Structure 1
Amino acid sequence: MLTAAEVRQQVEKQKKSRWNFEKILAHSSSEEAVKPLQKLLGPKGLYPTKKNGSLTESILQEIAKFQQGETELKTDKGGNIQAVIGSSNFSSEQLAENYTTIYNKVTELKPTG
């Protein structure tokens, strides 16, 4: 666990590929403490907000979800879905399983009509 000041130092000193974190979680009571990070992390999609679930009352639940591999699906203005389905060390079967999971979830959530 890092403080907001430690995260700021890490972000300012190093390139994104060398950061030692993938996601930042913050308790909603510490919203003011992470405010100075908005300009640095906002454009990269890492700034904790209520909308993306990283500014929350239940930090431990969010940590558990992250450790289980829950990811975010993002869409652009045209409605195209942007999602990572694996990494370079995944086997073909793992990639196919992840793709199938994402596809099934999207079709399940798709509104009728």
Structure 2
Amino acid sequence: MKQGKRYAEVAKAVDRQVKYAELDAIQLVKKNATAKFDETVELHIRTGCDGRHADQQVRGSVVLPAGTGKNVRILVFAKDAKADEALAAGADFVGADDLVPRIQDGWFDYDVVIATPDMMGVVGRIGRLLGPKGLMPNPKLGTVTMDVAKAIADTKAGKVEYRLDKANIIHVPVGKASFSEEQLKSNLDALMAAIVKARPSSLKGTYLKSITLTSTMGPGVKLDGLQFGA
């Protein structure tokens, strides 16, 4: 396959036995992002956590200094003055009970959902639809708040969420391959600082077992966790 040959060719530049320094890894990932579109640079971290235990969950958010390079579509559940505030702050969609049947019919043309606390009863009716897609508002992530303007501003500025998946791996975007090395480094530093700080106090043993940086279509490049204090 053509794609397989391309992947095999660029993968030759990556030594799978080496854990690279941060800037070296970023340079390799950028060099190997040769697709015809602007590939997303992604961070994948295999952890030693067991997400089945509540005290070993890892979840949070961080605003990337250089942004995500993506136009984020925001849906806000709010009413009256807060709905007006959300629209003024740049929300793409704003509503209340009227949004429920649309979402029940399969409408998911948005990337982030924010809600005021008084609307969580309404949002809860569609929680089983939003939850699996990672769209359920959460006060710990700043997406359940009365300060909808700040939540929208943070999201537009490049706020990303990180969390364990079912295999206890964290997958989170770092930026775009078109970003400069300095932009990707500042984003990666901010992400790693937040994730290292989020280590569960109950965890025994190794927290971050492997750290890999990759682009959408490129090979993974392993990072040395010691440089992040991991």
- Say which structure is richer in helix: 1
- AA in 2 matched with 1:73: Y
Partner of 2:51: none
| In structure 1, distance between residues paired with 2:162 and 2:137 | 16
What SS is found at the alignment partner of 1:83?
Answer: strand
Deviates more, 1:78-87 or 1:42-51: 78-87
Counterparts of residues 27-106 of structure 1 (less than 5 Å): 27-76=116-165, 80-87=169-176, 90-91=178-179, 93=181, 94-106=183-195
| In structure 1, distance between residues paired with 2:128 and 2:198 | 34
- Say which structure is richer in strand: 2
| In structure 2, distance between residues paired with 1:13 and 1:59 | 25
| In structure 2, distance between residues paired with 1:100 and 1:52 | 19
- AA in 2 matched with 1:12: D
Report percent identity of matched pairs: 26
CA displacement, residues 31-61 of structure 1 (integer Å, 9 cap, x when unaligned): 1122222121111110123233211222122
- AA in 2 matched with 1:6: L
| In structure 2, distance between residues paired with 1:57 and 1:100 | 30
| In structure 2, distance between residues paired with 1:13 and 1:42 | 14
Partner of 1:9: 102
Task: Please tell me whether the aligned partners of residues 115 and 145 of structure 2 are also in contact (alpha carbons under 8 angstroms).
Answer: yes
Runs of 4+ that moved beyond 6 A = none
Which one scores higher on RCO, CA 8 angstroms, separation ≥ 6? 2
Say if 1:47 and 1:96 are closer, same or farther in 2 by CA, change over 3 A: same
- AA in 2 matched with 1:98: N
May I ask how many residue pairs the two structures share in their alignment?
107
* Unaligned segments of structure 1, at least 5 residues: none
Q: Provide TM-score, normalisation by structure 1.
A: 0.69
Deviates more, 1:49-58 or 1:77-86: 77-86
Task: Please tell me whether the aligned partners of residues 8 and 37 of structure 1 are also in contact (alpha carbons under 8 angstroms).
Answer: no
CA displacement, residues 72-95 of structure 1 (integer Å, 9 cap, x when unaligned): 22124675432111245x335233
Q: Which has the larger radius of gyration?
A: 2
Task: Please tell me whether the aligned partners of residues 103 and 126 of structure 2 are also in contact (alpha carbons under 8 angstroms).
Answer: no
- AA in 1 matched with 2:179: S
Q: Provide TM-score, normalisation by structure 2.
A: 0.38
Say if 1:65 and 1:11 are closer, same or farther in 2 by CA, change over 3 A: farther
